[in-house]
């Protein structure tokens, strides 16, 4: 089975799942739970429910495949808010995204899996409080996001295996990152995708390179260019 077939199957499964979710039922149910939490003076639970509602609303994105960068960041922050309540003072988040890129569009559910990966594989495994930094800016061929955590990092050999696994070699099982990587390459060509860099005991950075999209653009030129975002 080719990578293309696998990704298309996953996309079909995702759209089928979306179709099963009635947004109005979901929001009304969360609203009822939130009302009950407030009545019982469970304010932290109410806050988590509100963030979860925002997360689902932005995930559905009215059925559209592309989402504005500003809304994708709102989606990520809703996820982070839920996790910060769960893990309390385990981590902090710094967002330094150029507001000039806010009006552009990216495929939805692009940043959240990478932030989740940073939390679970970078921050959670450390005993100390950690930091996740999210940056985004223009560069010559498009827009680049960097998601960096100051967890334990990785040895050079492991980083090389991860990047090779992203590009088709079955060396290390990857799910969220590979899904993001394959979606970008299938839709926009080899110039775009995910790249991992890390230094042991210091940091891990996942870079995501995307084209400059307006809402009605579905495909771009697929010239084969390096996608390491200037590093």
pTM, rounded to two decimals = 0.72
Q: Which domains does the chain have, with CATH numbers?
A: 3-210 (3.30.565.10)
At 151-190, the pLDDT tens digits run 989 999 999 999 999 988 888 878 888 889 998 998 899 9
Residue 133 bridge partners (DSSP): 94, 148
Q: Within its chain, how far is the Cα of 77 from the centroid?
A: 11
Q: For residue 219, what pLDDT is reported? A: 47
Contacts (Cβ under 8 Å, ≥6 apart) of 99: none
Question: What distance in Å separates the CA atoms of residue 35 and residue 63, rounded to the nearest whole number?
Answer: 28
Question: What distance in Å separates the CA atoms of residue 59 and residue 108, rounded to the nearest whole number?
Answer: 7
At 101-116, the pLDDT tens digits run 999 999 988 998 899 8
SS3 of residue 16 by DSSP: helix
Judge contact between 164 and 105, C-beta under 8 A.
Answer: no
Q: Within its chain, how far is the Cα of 168 from the centroid?
A: 20
Task: Please report the DSSP string for 42-57 in residue order.
Answer: -HHHHHHHHHHHHHHH
Judge contact between 191 and 182, C-beta under 8 A.
Answer: no
């Amino acid at each position: 089975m080719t990578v293309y077939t696998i990704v298309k199957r996953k996309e079909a499964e995702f759209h089928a799942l979306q179709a099963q979710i009635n947004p109005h039922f979901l929001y009304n149910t969360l609203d009822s739970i939130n009302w009950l939490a407030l009545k019982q003076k469970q304010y932290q639970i109410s806050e988590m429910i509100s963030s979860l509602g925002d997360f689902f609303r932005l995930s559905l994105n009215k059925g559209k495949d592309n989402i504005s960068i500003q809304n994708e960041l709102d989606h990520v922050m809703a996820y982070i808010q839920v996790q910060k309540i769960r893990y309390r003072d385990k981590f902090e988040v710094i967002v330094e995204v150029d507001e000039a890129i806010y009006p552009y569009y990216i495929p939805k559910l692009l940043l959240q899996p990478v932030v989740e990966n940073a939390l679970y594989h970078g921050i959670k495994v450390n005993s100390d409080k950690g930091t996740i930094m999210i940056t985004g800016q223009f560069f010559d061929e498009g827009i680049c996001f960097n998601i960096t955590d100051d967890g334990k990092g990785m040895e050079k050999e492991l980083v090389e295996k991860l990047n090779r696994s992203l590009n088709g070699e079955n060396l290390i099982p990857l799910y969220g990152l590979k899904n993001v990587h394959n979606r970008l390459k299938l839709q926009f060509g080899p110039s775009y995708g995910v790249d991992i860099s890390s230094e042991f005991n210091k940091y891990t950075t996942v870079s995501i390179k995307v084209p400059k999209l307006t809402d009605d653009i579905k495909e771009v030129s697929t010239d084969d260019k390096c996608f390491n975002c200037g590093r």
